[in-house]
Amino acid sequence: MAVARQSMREEIVEAALDRFHARGYNAAGVKDITDGAGVPKGSFYNHFASKEALAVIALERYGESRRMRDLADTSVEPLTRLRKHFEFLRDDVVGWGYKRGCMFGNFGTEITDHSETIRASVGESLRVWTDLVAGVLAEAAHAGALRTGLDPAATARLIVNAWEGTLIDARATRSPDAFASFFTVVFDTLLTPPN
Amino acid sequence: MAVARQSMREEIVEAALDRFHARGYNAAGVKDITDGAGVPKGSFYNHFASKEALAVIALERYGESRRMRDLADTSVEPLTRLRKHFEFLRDDVVGWGYKRGCMFGNFGTEITDHSETIRASVGESLRVWTDLVAGVLAEAAHAGALRTGLDPAATARLIVNAWEGTLIDARATRSPDAFASFFTVVFDTLLTPPN
């Protein structure tokens, strides 16, 4: 029975991650989520205090799927590592047919004004990610591979935010052009030392 | 009677702009909007085919409030003009207590996957804005005020997208820090010729 309950909770989290990502917070109802999990709607509140509490868990689960750890893999040259990170994120969105985008940005626009709990979680997700990117930039600067005079923290924040906006553009235009501008301007102009 | 009808339509558009901006698309129901306009719910469909159709009108109205025309005012030095444009947009969000953000980005994340009509409208809004920014950058390049080797179109797209992501960050953190990173990295590093 303990195993069954654990499995039901996990099935609800997995379904929530899928439904919140595909539909957004408001459009994904508790019944959509329990239907997706194949469990009775009534079982939801045995496992979660609220839809909002589940959303925070889904957001954390989403963050774990972004392969953030790869950003700290010092066996790969820093700017190559950073480029591969955003290529992985790009390929994920292209694989969804230019849909879904990033849950940090989706919850960030739809829900942060209306839930302090989700706002804190989105802010923390962006901060952790930005700190990892800043670490890569500091490594690149140390190796002399970065344009001089860049502040790693401010530049990392701009890059992460540019990525979130690029996803909005890519979803609205359903084309790779927004991604092309991101990679060209960030990697070939902003970060690269002039010849 | 014709005047009264015109006034009722306008009141619904104004209320829709406010409710969609404050709550998002799904959370702003037709009744919220007609209540905001102080008109009977039943009057809605005398004026609009659907909530989706009204959303496109509200999005256009929102675009008109962004002072895009100022980007073409050649009496102001190009990079000063661009900076003032984003300062205006920043001050608007700060004035709302770091809430609401940009309707292009809000609809872009919440609705573009689910409405072809709204997706087309968001895409067109971003394209018009990006073209205006690219025009400013081309002027700056012509005047020798821009870092050499920048592509105006790709750079404009990156800047507009970075702005949209910066708003997500600013709303999640409710602080001016995301804006500071945007202005520093875009204006003092990306666009400025090295000394």
Q: Which domains does chain A have, with CATH numbers?
A: 2-61 (1.10.10.60), 66-190 (1.10.357.10)
Query: pLDDT, tens digit, for every residue of B24-50?
Result: 999 999 999 999 999 999 999 999 999
Mutate: best of A168, A183, A188, partner B, most B CBs <10 A: A168
Q: Do A160 and B165 touch (CB under 8 A)?
A: yes
Q: What is the pLDDT of residue A183?
A: 98
- Work out whether the CA dihedral A173, A174, A177, A183 comes out positive or negative: positive
Q: For helices B116-142 and B51-64, give the axis angle rounded to 10 degrees.
A: 10
Q: Is the pLDDT of residue B125 over 90?
A: yes
CB A70 within 8 A of CB A85: yes
**% pLDDT > 70, chain B:** 96
pLDDT recorded at residue B26 = 97
Per-residue model confidence (pLDDT) at position B193: 81
The CA–CA distances, whole Å, from B74 to A97, B46, B63, B69, B160 equal: 40, 43, 21, 11, 20
Nearest to A189 among B101, B122, B150 (CB): B150
Nearest to A109 among B105, B150, B182 (CB): B105
Question: Per residue in A62-116, pLDDT tens?
Answer: 999 999 999 999 999 999 999 999 999 999 999 999 999 999 999 999 999 999 9
Whole-angstrom distance, CA of residue B139 vs CA of residue B87? 20
Which of B93, B103, B122, B164 would you mutate first to test chain A, the one with the most A CBs within 10 A? B164
What does the pLDDT read at residue A3?
58
Angstrom distances, CA of residue A85 to CA of A82, A88, A125, B128:
5, 5, 16, 30
The SS3 call for residue B58 is: helix
Residue B127: list chain A partners with CB under 8 A.
173
Indicate yes or no: CB of B26 within 8 angstroms of CB of A22.
no
Q: How far is A16 from chain B (nearest CA, A)?
A: 16
What is the pLDDT confidence band of residue A193, given thresholds at 50, 70 and 90? confident
Please indicate whether, in this complex, the C-beta atoms of A177 and B157 are within 8 angstroms of each other.
Answer: yes
Buried b vs exposed e over B61-78: b needs ≥16 C-beta within 10 Å? ebbeebebeebeeeeeeb
Residues of chain B positioned with their CB less than 8 A from the CB of A153: 181
Q: Are B161 and A173 inside 8 Å of each other by CB? A: no
ipTM above 0.85, yes or no: yes
Mean pLDDT value across chain A: 95
CB atoms A24 and B189 under 8 Å: no
The pLDDT assigned to A57 comes to: 98
The answer to whether residue A1 scores a pLDDT higher than 60 is no
Task: Indicate whether A2 pLDDT > 90.
Answer: no
The alpha carbon of residue B73 is apart from the nearest alpha carbon of chain A, in Å, by 26
Average pLDDT over residues B5-19: 93
From chain B, pick out residues whose CB is under 8 angstroms from the CB of A26.
24, 26-27
Q: How far apart are CA B25 and CA B111, in angstroms?
A: 7
